[in-house]
Amino acid sequence: LFTRGQTQALVTATLGDSKSAQSYELIGSKSALYETFMLHYNFPAFSVGEARRQGPPGRRELGHGNLGKRALEPTLELDRNYTVRLVSEILESNGSSSMATVCGGALALRAAEVETEKLVAGIAMGLVTEGDRYAVLSDIMGLEDHDGDMDFKITGTADGVTALQMDIKLGGIDAKILRDALYQAKEGRLHILGIMEEALTDMRPSLALPSSIVFDIESSHIPTIIGKGGGTIREIIEKYGVSIDIDRDANSVKITGDSKEGVANAKAYIDNITSTPVKRQMTYEINKQYKGKIKKILDFGMFIEMPDGYDALLHISKVAKERINKLDELYKVGDDIDIIVLEQKGKKVELCTPAYLF
């Protein structure tokens, strides 16, 4: 909640993941574009003591929202996995509500723990002229805006300017007036930034803030995270209140949740279930004999545990040259067995016994 004089803005920051980005298209674009930082400005009638129907956004709302976005965006260090939306509700106005939006927006970003290089503040400068005489006004009110000759909005950090917008009723202004306005605006901006910095010292970000984390994993651990029929990943999502996206191409996992605690606990759970060493499948020599162990006996064949720990199927037709009806009459689970590798395609290994081949 930012208040300066008789102007007050309530600015709310909402955090989302990359899926929450706003899609849009340009005339020349071949595919959809995505906006991950948005600022929406609302100017209800009650803020200036009026009563009228609230309609769709007009030129004022669109223009002020765009100015605020341009003012704050240069300082953002926005992760590609985040989407940020600022909404400014003007509660009272007798001055520059767009500059109050910029100041409130900068504080809201800090409260939401969105990384920014510097705080941004804004101030509206006015001008009164009479012949060759002039006076530059700082932080103009509604009457000074209406009767004055200039509305010059300047936003920036302690180090420099991020956005400018000038409306003038004169044919133009000379360089001296422009220079005076910029220097005077810098003094006002630094004063506002000092007060904003003081307010930040009392700010206590909530532990319930939305959070997101991306980390790399071994490709062989992806089935472990998903689990049989997706059971493991569903359990993590329900237990910790998070969403999980797995990128198989990049071998990465993204966890997003409504609280940092939930995200951290979900990551710790995944780290725990993937902490066992990754099994590396051997590259077998074709037609070479190996020792295996029978893991499971079925009607159509046996699953054999190979020397590298992976299982391979020994089909019933390749156990012996003669026909075999029941494997469990000849073999038992846990028996050692000699097998020969006929072919290997990735993780699929085709086996037979020496009795079948020789």
Q: What is the CATH number of domain 289-357?
A: 2.40.50.140
pLDDT number for residue 278: 60
Rounded CA separation 69/118 (Å): 15
From the list 126, 140, 139, the residue with the least C-alpha distance to 170 is: 126
3-state SS class at 218: coil
Rounded CA separation 265/230 (Å): 19
Rounded CA separation 227/174 (Å): 71
Say which CATH class 211-273 falls into. Answer: alpha beta
Rounded to the nearest angstrom, the gap between the alpha carbon of residue 148 and the centroid of all alpha carbons in its chain is 44
Burial of 232 (0-12, 13-18, 19+ CB in 10 A): middle
The one-character DSSP state at 75 is G
Superfamily of domain 2-201: GHMP Kinase, N-terminal domain (3.30.230.70)
In this structure, the strands spanning 37-42 and 82-92 are parallel
Per-residue b or e along 288-301, where b marks 16 or more CB atoms closer than 10 Å to that residue's CB? eebebebeebeeeb
Joined together, the tokens standing for residue 209 give 């803030």
- Residue 247, CA distances (Å) to 170, 180, 192, 252 in order: 58, 54, 45, 5
Rounded CA separation 10/18 (Å): 25
Question: Do the beta carbons of residue 109 and residue 209 sit within 8 Å?
Answer: no
Question: Do the beta carbons of residue 312 and residue 283 sit within 8 Å?
Answer: no
Rounded CA separation 113/21 (Å): 19
Q: How far apart are the first and last CA of the chain?
A: 85
Rounded CA separation 226/264 (Å): 18
Question: So where are the chain's domains?
Answer: 2-201, 211-273, 289-357
Phi-psi region of 82 (alpha: psi -120 to 50; beta: other; left: phi over 0): beta
Which alpha helices (DSSP H) does 81-174 contain, by range?
A: 97-111, 142-147
pLDDT in tens, the chain (358 residues): 999 989 999 999 988 877 788 888 888 888 888 899 999 999 999 998 888 888 888 899 999 999 999 999 999 987 666 789 999 999 999 989 999 999 999 999 998 888 888 999 999 999 999 888 999 999 999 888 888 999 999 999 999 999 999 999 988 889 999 999 999 999 999 999 999 999 988 777 666 677 788 899 888 889 889 988 889 999 999 999 998 988 888 888 989 888 888 899 999 999 998 887 666 678 899 999 999 999 999 999 999 999 887 889 999 999 999 999 899 999 999 999 999 999 998 778 999 999 998 8
- Residue 80: CB atoms within 10 A of its CB come to 10
Joined together, the tokens standing for residue 47 give 């803020």
pLDDT number for residue 279: 64
